[in-house]
Structure 1
């Protein structure tokens, strides 16, 4: 089992384009209030079928191994989409997520973290990267986190956790919403509020546009050159049409989180989960048990061993890893809240492999993993993954996301995985064995506020590609 990060470390603070200590300047003359190309209707943003709807799709996006990784890796923390185990829309009713009321909405800055996290946990597209703890983690490594929400009578209708990073040469700031914003992309009312007869079908759309307008104003006030969003949505034409109609363009980064992943259905009983695995993977899980591999929950005292395994993995497989302080803070933020567990595999007391699994029921994610050079014949990483699945299932999760495989169609993946080991290809063979389904997200999209400076950022990105020789 190897780290799935790929490329450079996620928080490469010395990067020349996105440096946290870059200079600052006032807003430039190229900035202007955001405007869509024309007035938007319900049909325009893909929430009702119209004869004029077009599905041209986004521009071509970089695939795995593309040299766009340097900047994207600065943002990346792990790709997740909306599939098996997704929360039913009705669950949002407890927080009034899609309840459209007549009172005027209120735009909130930095709402209470506990209330915010409850909103994320109940939202149909809620994701671990939108929790306040994730913002706190990133804030210690070159970013500044801010949460905003649109509230009606105390009920959050929409929201987003925004990460800001200074650009060099006083260009302003990059604003990024990982796996968000959390809005009603479907344009439907929650089943929990069917009794609201006064609601009109377009009320959710009105709320979406109201939130985006306030979001625009906030990001511009923070000197944002552009806002990059990466909604937790599947790669479907209707969502691409909707994003284009809302004034977004395919991001110059292409994708920040891995676009394609494998998601394992862990809702069935353990025997059924094992039966769904590839025969060799199932064999290796049981082999590790017979060979004396023991998996246990790690404690803070085990963090140095985890760091050593991560460093060895990086050296052996050319994966990017974070500094030890990053993993230590992630542990301290998420493990005590029962939202993550660090698992350590040992052979006769010697640490041989480790992973960190995160959970926000009904979903879970495998973000970080590493293995050493000793006892590799005992297949410890396979048993580690199995124990991570069992832990996630015990937390109430029904899906286990293996977080990142090469961004190729299934036919290409199956045809080439035995021949390639670059990038995420090296871990695809391992991950495919656990019996999950491949899924692809809609990717990253930009909403541009300062076209001239955005053009400079794009030019710098292209120059980096040329220098990489790809």
Structure 2
């Protein structure tokens, strides 16, 4: 039997934003979190983006934006390629070569680990093969997922009428009800990002999730709103009279739009502003040429006990389907260093905190 080796894989760092985004958009499994702009956004929180393009016989076949954070003065780092790398995961030889390159990159960078969480389905033969491959190569399921493991996807390719027809009857009713209740939706400007942030902070306090300072979101939102070419963003605000009661922020990369942030006031909820906001977000995405709307975040377990169950039921009403993914995996060049960083050190710090709280003060 004659065997053929896969063409050699060449790796180089890309330093031009337009070339990077164009290359990324040409690949399967690309994501806005792999865009040049997202790498720039993460710089303000201490991450540095290294953008690696992989070529075979002169053709671009994969891309990985690797975010690196150095740990103080120690010659160690942690690395993360969010929702990447982008490549055709149906090509096993290519997948092996890209994984090997990332593993080597982590070793040379003296990284404690490198994390990846591509949108590879876990309920298909291809997904199961990727899971087996990762485990065989020493990657392990990460305790920290960072992004949502699963998401909700809506097909926009058929256009507005077909999308609206795919809503559950109650959801179509609520979209129309919002209009009758006086809800209007408009594009927000950069000057209104603080208004949106106040709503987002109120939502976080009400629903029990932590948020970052305004500076982080302002930079992120402005960067995406000012995106060009493959990248874009849109802030939508819902008003009832002179009061802004809800909003959402969506990002676009190539032909996919992502619902990244949503916020609402406790006021006027009976007017159903969030239903109308989502419909207008879909209309914006369709106008931008998008064929997929990723509503971002779905339950890990399809059970009412899952914290995202109510969120999922809301998204499902728009006709979204569940997309279950393999989740995050870590590769650690040194098993001992990985254990010390991810298991032993957090335990020690937690013990120290408990002892500090138990120590009486004078």
Secondary structure of the corresponding residue to residue 138 of structure 1: helix
Which shows bigger deviation, 455-464 or 358-367? 455-464
State the match for 2:41 in structure 1.
137
State the match for 1:231 in structure 2.
118
State the match for 1:382 in structure 2.
275
Instruction: Choose which of 455, 458, 462 in structure 1 pairs with 2:339.
Output: 455
The structure in which a higher percent of residues are strand is: 2
Structure 2 unpaired stretches of 5+: 355-362
1:244 lines up with 2:118 in the alignment: no
Output one character per residue of 1:425-470: Cα deviation in whole Å (capped at 9) or x when no partner.
342332222111111111111111022110112324773998899x
Deviation at 1:325, TM superposition (A): 1.5
Output one character per residue of 1:106-153: Cα deviation in whole Å (capped at 9) or x when no partner.
321243221111011111111111001000001111211111122356
Structure 1 unpaired stretches of 5+: 1-40, 43-99, 188-203
TM-aligned CA distance change 1:461 to 1:238, over 3 Å? farther
Conservation of the 8 A alpha-carbon contact between 2:159 and 2:286: no
State the match for 1:162 in structure 2.
66
The structure in which a higher percent of residues are helix is: 2
Question: Structure 1-normalised TM-score?
Answer: 0.67
TM-aligned CA distance change 1:464 to 1:348, over 3 Å? farther
Superposition RMSD in Å: 2.7
1:406 lines up with 2:296 in the alignment: no
State the match for 1:435 in structure 2.
319
Secondary structure of the corresponding residue to residue 319 of structure 2: coil
State the match for 2:25 in structure 1.
121
TM-aligned CA distance change 1:434 to 1:461, over 3 Å? farther
Conservation of the 8 A alpha-carbon contact between 1:159 and 1:183: yes
CA distance in 1: counterparts of 2:331 and 2:30, whole angstroms: 21
CA distance in 1: counterparts of 2:321 and 2:98, whole angstroms: 34
CA distance in 1: counterparts of 2:48 and 2:183, whole angstroms: 41
CA distance in 2: counterparts of 1:246 and 1:397, whole angstroms: 36
Q: Which has the higher contact order (CA 8 A, sep 6+)?
A: 1
Instruction: Choose which of 331, 343, 348 in structure 1 pairs with 2:241.
Output: 348
Conservation of the 8 A alpha-carbon contact between 2:235 and 2:249: yes
1:216 lines up with 2:134 in the alignment: no
How many positions carry a matched residue from both structures? 344
State the match for 2:184 in structure 1.
294
TM-aligned CA distance change 1:463 to 1:426, over 3 Å? farther
Conservation of the 8 A alpha-carbon contact between 2:27 and 2:88: no
Question: Structure 2-normalised TM-score?
Answer: 0.86
State the match for 1:371 in structure 2.
264
Conservation of the 8 A alpha-carbon contact between 1:111 and 1:149: no
Deviation at 1:159, TM superposition (A): 2.0
